[in-house]
Amino acid sequence: MLAGTKVRRLLLMLDTCFSGQGGNELLATMAKLKNNWREKDAGLAVITSAQPNELAQTGAFPELLAEAVNSLATAGYTPPLLSLGAVVEATRNNPKRPDFQHIGWEIIGLTGEIPPFLPNAKHSNRLSHTDLALQRAAEWEEQDSRRDVEFRTRLLRRAMGHRDEERVGWWFSGRHKALRDITAWLAELPYGRPALVVTGDPGSGKTAVLGLLAAVSDPEYRRTVPLSGLGLSAELLPPPRAIRTAVYAQNLTDQQVVRALAAALRLPPVEAVADLLNHLNAGPEPDRPRVVLIDGLDEAATPSALCGQVLRPLMELAGARLRLLLGTRPHLLAPLGLDRGDQVDLDSPRYADPQAVLAYAVRNLIDAHPESPYLECENDLRLGVARAVAAAAGHSFLVARITAGTLAATPALPDPLDTVWRRSLPSAAADAMHRDLHQRFGPAADQILDLLRPLAYAEGQGLPWEDIWAPLAAELSGRRYTNEDLRQLRRDAGAYVVEAVEDGRSVYRLYHEAMAEYLRQGQDYGEAHRALTTGLRRTVPYRLDGSPDWGRAHPYALRHLAVHADHAGLLDGLVTEPEYLVHADADTLVLLLLGVRSDTARLHAAVYRASIQAHRHLEATGRRGILALDAARYNEPSLVEAFGSGVAERMWRPVAASGSLLSGNLLNAFTGPTEGVVAADCTVVDGREVVVTGSVDMSLRVWDLATGQPLGRPMTGHTKRVEAVACTTLDGRPVAVSGSSDETVRIWDLTACVPVGKPMTGHTKKVNAVACTTLNGRPIAVTGSETVRIWDLANGEPVGEPIDVGGRVTALAVAMTPSGPVAVTGLTNARVRVWDLASGLERGELEGGEGLYVTGLASTELGSDPVVIALTQANRAHVWNLETHRRLATLESREAHSHAVACTQVEGRPIAVVSSVDRTLAVWNLKARVRAGSFGNDGDGVTSLACTSLAGRPVVVCCSHDVVRVWDLSFSRPLGRPVTGHVRRVAAMDISKLNGLPVFVTGSHDRTVRIWDARTGSPIGKSMKGHRHNVQSMACTTLGGRSVAVTASLDGQVRVWDLERQATLVHLTDDHHELVNRVRCVVLNGRPVVVGAGRNDCLWTWDLETGKRLYPPVPSAGGADRRARRVMASTVADGRLIAITSGDGVTQFWDLADGCALAEIRHSALAIVCGDIGDRRVVVTSGRDATVQVRDLATGRLLGPPMTGHSKPAHSVRCGSLDGRPVAVTCSIDDTVRIWDLESCTPVGTLHVPGLSEAVLLDDTGRLACTFGSDVAVFTRR
């Protein structure tokens, strides 16, 4: 029926007896066709009214479906669309469902979020006539919709003064002094007062005041507010549009608040306060600052950080463009840098309004209940009761409202003069709530408390109804509850609950945080979260085999279950479920994995974190592939199978992999600046451990070590690359000091991510070292270039004259000695010297410091003695006492050249962490003078190290080209059984045969060549050594019936290796000095030939049997710029040896026999390979535009459209065959391997890998070998 139509996603509902059988048959058929679908998100969803062997009651399914789509359990009024899973669960949970009939549903295709097939009929922005002011809500984006919900359910409801959503009237009273002062501030918006805070204890009416101001600031809403009835004159209220927008910060993260502000101010979407400031300050200065109201700061996800890191910078740096009207409890005034006495403190004598509390109590006594006895009672009696209520409530409108509401629902009238009764009136919110519920509902109060209590522990924006809320209430209380109980709760005590939205679904929270505090009183915190964890796990749907189907779990469970499990001490068990790891929210989970304890959980956590930077933002399919691969790297076959079992048919999954540098000490890793980190240091910003990086792109950035997220925008101002970074504090605020190749030193405010003062100038060469300390109680920076200079950070001025150290500074450290602060310098003249910072004079050289070229310095204390550790080019670390200048130890390093060092304390022991160019990190116990351990840093070389702590653990932060890794320095038992292979990046690979069996051969930057079994992925024999530098390229062929590999290295040699003997057979480059960095092998007239490309762009050819040159070199046809981008492939066509090269935007075809260019096309390729499509020879290229192109070798003409899919250019391309069809395999710096059908020019499959890779098909069945980082892996199709 659908053939030829545009339908690509279909929901089919079958309502017949045995309909499950038909659904299964349909899905089985579709599964066979699925691999031929071209659209990524195409697919089918089937809902069946009965199982394969069940009858279906006539009319039952339509009735169940109708109730499900209209049920509040499925969705409230806010989401515009219904979740398919929620609808099916509602039909299953409906008590009207016949016991013999079970509704089922399955999907095929439809990767990612299930399409929104069903609209929400209840969706409306007009829940009451007071919503007329929100006419533009439908036009606004998601942030505006969230503000809409926040305003209606929190600010407006509190301002109106009652909890009943059905009620129209306003009960606001008094607070005129507070309104008058706030209105005066809004009228003037003084430059020296960028923010005004409305504060007070819970129930003081903060949100009511702010909600009223927000309502009257909107021209449409203002018409709905009965100003005269509330006794509010014009001078008490601001004019329309005085407040631009209102945000309620409850459970919002800092980034979410920034996004909300950006949307409200109609600025581009950003999550960093510095970006917000940049956009805000980019335009012309407005005539009047824009005012944003933000309430509920104390209920935000991270209140202190929000106030200190987001709002305070806005207050200080937004100038005349922005003013903030804030609402919070008093304890957050300190992070805001504000004095309580200068704010609107509703509990202070100036603003406390006992008459307003009394009037509010009277209104609640009369109107809080439809049958209130105070409607018709004597006025004196009513007033007497109200005065007693108000006196007990004090300044708390919340207590007055709850107590008066309780009395209004009680038929009997009290005697207001009865002292016993007056003493029984509650004065605290918790007591008032307890009295209200138990007095109004009697024995039923316990049920209401049971149903409300889960909301007191809810994470995020709130708890979903669906199939979550009632089961959690049952689990917490030990009593059975259903959706009908929740509907009854909504009718009887719904005023205690408000609706919000998360993940496009309705969620519910308590009306007031004080209610949550009351409900948590007397509860065992751990046991409560244990019950919530158990309950949430039970809500996860099951597969046919009875295992949890985490792919269909509710978003709340995927995002927040780990938090509940962590609080309950149950995280270990959750983490050991592979399917949960595939689908869980990565940003939430990775922070919690620090707390797992069991060996199994630690292993799963290590697998999860091994490539967290690669899979953190992937959807489930991509994450599954990387987790399976990392399980293979840990050599845990059962875990590989567990992750791989969910891989779709005909897709690739790992068989085995090496894991040479794996370590369970890796806590986090995230992608840093794309241009590369040069320097870094750690500090704390608003309670968060951060690393500050300086980059080649001339910027500095601040990164949260726990989340891997940037804090603020890049800090720019240097005009050349940043060479050094050091952190300290200035006037109590964290700052960074940077040195640059632009010869300047700069100070940066890390809270606001802005420069402090002007650049400090004086150096005449690049500043490549910075360290911070104090001098006479003042913070200073010491910088090294051709001289050493000292800078007063308070005023940015130099201290004293430049210190002539006798050479260019290669390394610098500062320390505090009993004699005062000193600087230690390593110099180009191979000397280590100590300088007194107070006098600028040399204290002398260190013992044995002559003749040492120092590459890194760090200071620490050994006992009570200040010491310095110096790294030298001789692979040694020297330790000196800085007071006596005596050398205490020389630590011999087994690794390659060491170039970065950082010091810290681990369990009271002084520790030095040393990085080497071979990417290992060695940890030395300085007291025992022994090596305490090491771990590999798989990836690019380390550029900088810094030590700090994270979640109470000592860590070292290791920065490489574009990845920042955080390592735990607390050593524990090794995890898994990883196979050792190469220890540096694998740069080349090819396939061959050894004794008739398939193998693949790899060459690495560790200067070795290895052979691997293509069936098992295991290494064969030992590594082959001989090259003196990185192996860059490789090609395999046969020579005299023996399998050989030809390698090119940066040492200038081209070697031929006998794979059976695992030894060098011959050198091809002994007679010249050309640096050949690319080699290819072809067969010409039955003889093996090697084609090589040199760094000077010459093309070389050798007869492999003789080892002699076959043809004269083909010289470069271009300049130096083209040489740096040369790539090459070779083939034989019509008996001629052809080479294809590309660079400088041109791809050329060369006849190597006569050295002539045959053709030229305007196309810049990063990788080239030759292959065949039937009888046609083709060239496949990957371009700088991230496309893959297929061209006819003879004509250069494109064969089909360029193939797209990579988000970044591919640097490797290989040809092969798959199921009898010619394909190409490309590897990109976007960390994917893609397979392409060359005949149809369409994608066949994708693999996600954690790093720069090479890949080649091993056979026609789809077996594939891949390299990434220092590791290799073998994949097969399921």
Q: Which pLDDT does position 27 carry in this prediction?
A: 63
Q: So what's the pLDDT on residue 674?
A: 67
Task: Count other Cβ atoms within 10 Å, centred on residue 226.
Answer: 12
The H or E element spanning position 502 is strand 497-502
**Domain shared by 473 and 418, yes or no:** no
Q: Which of 476, 471, 365, 475 is nearest to 413 (CA)?
A: 365
CB count in 10 Å sphere of residue 103: 27
CB atoms within 10 A of CB 272: 24
Say what the pLDDT of residue 578 is. Answer: 96
Does 529 fall in a domain? no
Residue 386's domain comprises 355-426
Residue ending a domain, choose from 62, 84, 119: 119
Q: What is the CATH number of the domain that holds 268?
A: 3.40.50
Decide: helix, strand or coil at residue 246.
Answer: strand
Residue 932 lies in a domain: yes
Residue 535 falls inside a structural domain: no
Domain end position, chosen among 352, 373, 405: 352
Q: Are residues 1198 and 1230 in the same domain?
A: yes
Residue 935 resides in a domain? yes
Confirm if 939 and 921 have CB atoms less than 8 A apart.
no
Please indicate, yes or no, if residue 534 is contained in any of the structural domains.
no
Do 192 and 340 reside in the same domain of the chain? yes
Answer whether 1018's CB lies under 8 Å from 1012's CB: yes
Q: Which residues contact 85 (CB under 8 A, 6 or more apart)?
A: 105, 114, 541, 552, 554
* Same domain as 151, residue 115: no
- Provide the 3-class DSSP secondary structure of residue 259: helix
Residue 210 and residue 198 in contact, taking contact as beta carbons nearer than 8 Å? yes
Nearest-CA neighbor of 352 among 172, 161, 179, 177? 177
Contact of 722 with 679, CB cutoff 8 Å: yes
Domain assignment of residue 1131, yes or no: yes
**Taking each helix axis from N to C terminus, what angle separates 429-441 and 445-456, rounded to the nearest 10 degrees?**
140
The answer to whether residues 341 and 376 belong to one domain is no
Residue 528 within a domain: no
- CA gap 804, 809 in Å, rounded: 10
Two tokens, residue 1182:
């990957």
Order of strands, sheet of 1146-1151, starting from the edge strand that comes earlier in the sequence: 1127-1133, 1136-1143, 1146-1151, 1156-1161
Main-chain dihedrals φ then ψ at residue 261, nearest 5 degrees: -65, -40
Q: What pLDDT is attached to residue 355?
A: 87
| CA 1175 and chain centroid, separation | 49
* Residue with the two structure tokens 């240091």: 681
Q: Which residues of the chain have pLDDT under 70?
A: 1-4, 6, 23-24, 27-41, 72-73, 76-78, 108-116, 122-168, 674, 893-897, 917-919, 937-941, 1070-1074, 1116-1126
Strand pairing category for 1264-1268 and 688-695: unpaired
Long-range contacts at 848-852 (CB < 8 A, ≥ 24 apart): 848/878, 848/887, 849/878, 849/880, 852/826, 852/878
Q: Compute the half-sphere exposure of residue 1225: CA atoms within 13 Å on the CB side of its CA.
A: 22
* 937 and 1057 together in one domain: no
Nearest by Cα to 98 from 54, 137, 132, 133: 54
1229 CB neighbour count, 10 Å cutoff:
18
From 464, 540, 451, 510, select the one nearest 72 (Cα to Cα). Answer: 464
Q: CA–CA separation, 1175 vs 927, rounded Å?
A: 71
Number of domains in the chain: 7
> Is residue 472 domain-shared with residue 559, that is, in the same domain?
no
**In DSSP terms, which residues pair with 199 in a beta bridge?**
328, 345
1136-1143 and 1127-1133 strand pairing: antiparallel
Verify that 930 and 806 share a domain, yes or no. yes
- pLDDT confidence of residue 125: 47
Last residue of a domain, one of 593, 615, 648: 648
For the chain, how far is it from start to end, CA to CA, in angstroms? 31
Q: Let me know if residue 27 belongs to a domain.
A: yes
Whether 1000 and 914 share a structural domain: no
Contact 1118, 1159 (CB under 8 A): no
Q: What is the DSSP letter of 306?
A: I
Note whether 1179 and 1151 are same-domain residues.
Answer: yes
The DSSP secondary structure of 877-916, one letter per residue, reads EEEEETTT--EEEEEEPSSS-EEEEEEEEETTEEEEEEEE
Q: Which residues contact 697 (CB under 8 A, 6 or more apart)?
A: 673, 674, 675, 676, 714, 721
Residue pair 884/822 in contact (Cβ under 8 Å)? The answer is no
Q: CA distances (Å), 932 to each of 901, 928, 966, in order?
A: 15, 9, 18
Residue 889 maps to which CATH number? 2.130.10.10
Q: What is the CATH number of the domain that holds 513?
A: 1.10.10
Residues 747 and 837 in one domain: yes
**For residue 692, which of 906, 948, 940 has the smallest C-alpha distance?**
948
The 10 Å CB-count burial string (b at 16+, else e) for 813-851 is bbbebeeebbbbbbbeebbbbbbbbeebeebeebeebee
Position 745 scores a pLDDT of: 96
Specify whether 709 is located in the same domain as 615: no
For every residue of 572-627, DSSP letters joined together read HHHHT-HHHHHHS-HHHHHHHGGG--SHHHHHHHHHHHHTHHHHTT--HHHHHHHH
The pair phi, psi for residue 527, each rounded to 5°, is: -65, -35
11 neighbors 47 (Cβ within 8 angstroms): yes
